[in-house]
Amino acid sequence: MTDPPGAASLPPEAAALLDRVPSEGASPPAWVFAEVGPPLFEAIRREGFRSLVLQVPAGLVRNAHDLAARLREATGARVVVAARPCFGACDFPSRDEAAGADAEVLLGHAPIPNVPRPLPAFFVEMRSAGGDPEALAETVVRAGLPSRLGLVASIQHLDLVGPLTQALARRGRTLETGTGDRRLAYPAQALGCNYTSASAIAERVDAFVFLGTGRFHPIGLAFVVDRPVYSLDPLQNTLDPPLDRGALVRRRQLLVARCRDARRWGVIVSTFAGQDRRPMAAALVARARARGLEAEVFATTRLDPGDLEGRDVDAFVNTACPRIALDDAELYARPMLTPPEFLMAIGELPLEPYRFDTFH
Ligand code: SF4
């Protein structure tokens, strides 16, 4: 597996700092299903769980009521819906949200193998049956993409990867997928904080295709692989042109430059199991103080921009989900950097090559 751009040039102490991972630990058992249906219901009945908490992502909140009713009727278990939509794959119902539950049903995500969970869990990945591989391959070929392509996909569209690979092969194109590290459950999978399935094959391909929707994953991928990244929407059969990686990087570097004079830093920590980098936060605080800067840790679960209003700080560094600094930065009144960007701002890492924040 190749390192992301910039990793090789890191000073060893910075590499050790940035490679710190959320704590691992043993988890209760988990079961994985493609969709809500009889196999899921049968497994819940078989395991004898009587009280469930159901967690859904924002895109499925409209269906949560009906899904809870289906679960209850099919299993006889008590079902409570976690009112807070799931933030991402490493966000499980909190102890309070799961009060009284003896198992959780988690929709829209795969397990993250190295993130501990508090309760037995039924993951329902909500795999999509949609997408015509022949039509998608035609779209890729007509757009003139290079013949050696790498691919990553969001979990809902992983079943399309094999048929699309074959459809492209019939048209003289090679589609490669890679196997990521212990944070990814499947080859070709990507998380917003982990693109190791792509960096594993980046040297062998001339461009990447992200199979899915939304901009968060392709932007992260473009930061990591330094190859053109196209977005292929499998249901609409639309192909977006490659992102301008140079512009993305320059925007972040400008932000870093703006923070060079920051004296008072707030270091954000989330206690979500898969984002909890308290040791890294403590090390960043120590680095800041060693340089005569002021730094304090701000602890949270799911960060709300309102939580940081009125704070007497010049800039924040976010050790939680990279989406907070990269996607939601405009929601905050002060600049929000990632940990590598913070090290750039205080002069411990060069601006080039730009290093993306990843979890492993
Ligand atoms: S850290 Fe963010 S991108 Fe990574 S799994 Fe958690 S929610 Fe998803």
Instruction: Check which CATH number belongs to the domain holding 58 and give it.
Output: 3.40.50.11840
- Can you tell me which atom of ligand 1 is nearest the CA of 192? 3
Residue 174: its H or E element:
strand 174-176
Residues 114, 154 within the same domain: no
Residues 117, 150 within the same domain: no
How many independent structural domains does the chain possess? Answer: 3
Angle at which helices 216-225 and 245-258 cross, to 10°: 90
The Cα–Cα gap between 235 and 228 comes to 22
Residues 210, 261 within the same domain: no
Residues 316, 253 within the same domain: yes
The enclosing domain of 326 has a CATH number of 3.40.50.11860
pLDDT score at 54: 98
**Residue 120 covered by a domain:** yes
Q: What is the separation of C-alpha 59 from the centre of its chain, rounded to a whole number of angstroms?
A: 16
Going from the Cα of 192 to the center of ligand 1, the distance in angstroms, rounded, reads 6
The 78-81 sheet, strands edge to edge: 30-33, 121-124, 103-107, 51-55, 78-81
Angle at which helices 64-75 and 38-47 cross, to 10°: 50
The enclosing domain of 155 has a CATH number of 3.40.50.11850
pLDDT score at 17: 65
Residues 269, 181 within the same domain: no
Q: Which residues pair with 151 in a beta bridge?
A: 209
pLDDT score at 110: 95
Residue type, 303: L
- Can you tell me which atom of ligand 1 is nearest the CA of 88? 7
Q: Which two tokens stand for residue 172?
A: 């003289």
Last residue within a domain, chosen from 243, 261, 278: 243
Query: What is the residue with the minimal CA distance to atom 8 of ligand 1?
Result: 88
Q: Which residues pair with 316 in a beta bridge?
A: 266, 336
Residues 256, 237 within the same domain: no
Longest dimension (CA), the chain: 61
The Cα–Cα gap between 348 and 107 comes to 41
Q: Is 281 left (phi over 0), alpha (psi -120 to 50) or beta?
A: alpha
- Can you tell me which atom of ligand 1 is nearest the CA of 89? 5
Query: What is the residue with the minimal CA distance to atom 3 of ligand 1?
Result: 192
Residues 49, 114 within the same domain: yes
Residues with CB under 6 A from ligand 1: 87-91, 191-193, 274-275, 321, 323, 359
The Cα-based distances of 74 to 41, 68, 130, 259 in angstroms read 6, 10, 26, 55
Going from the Cα of 167 to the center of ligand 1, the distance in angstroms, rounded, reads 31
Residues 236, 143 within the same domain: yes
pLDDT score at 23: 52
Mutating to test ligand 1, I would choose from 155, 184, 275, 318 the residue with most ligand atoms within 8 A of its C-beta, which is 275
| pTM summary value | 0.91
pLDDT score at 26: 79
The Cα–Cα gap between 57 and 134 comes to 30
pLDDT score at 4: 40
**Residue 19 covered by a domain:** no
Going from the Cα of 144 to the center of ligand 1, the distance in angstroms, rounded, reads 33
The Cα–Cα gap between 140 and 131 comes to 14
Gyration radius of the chain's alpha carbons = 21
pLDDT score at 329: 86
| Residue length of the chain | 360
The 315-318 sheet, strands edge to edge: 294-300, 264-270, 315-318, 336-337
Beta strands at 238-240 and 229-233: parallel, antiparallel or unpaired? antiparallel
The range of the structural domain enclosing residue 207 comes to 133-243
Query: What is the residue with the minimal CA distance to atom 2 of ligand 1?
Result: 321
Query: What is the residue with the minimal CA distance to atom 1 of ligand 1?
Result: 321
Residues 174, 87 within the same domain: no
CB atoms within 10 A of CB 194: 23
Going from the Cα of 272 to the center of ligand 1, the distance in angstroms, rounded, reads 10
Name residues of the chain where pLDDT drops below 50: 1-9
Residues 203, 255 within the same domain: no
